[in-house]
Structure 1
Amino acid sequence: MNTGTTKFPNERLERIHTALAAALEPSFLEVSDDSHLHVGHAGAASGGGHYSVKIVSDRFHGLRLVMRHRLVYDAVAEMMRAEIHALAITALTPSESD
Structure 2
Amino acid sequence: MNNQFSLTATLAQTGILRYTPAGIPVLDVVLKHESWQMENGESCLVRFELPARIIGKEASQWQHRENTLVEVSGFLAPKSQRYPRPILRIQNIQEYKG
**TM-score, normalised with respect to structure 1:** 0.26
Structure with more of its chain in helix, by fraction: 1
Q: Which has the higher strand share?
A: 2
Greater Cα radius of gyration, structure 1 or 2:
2
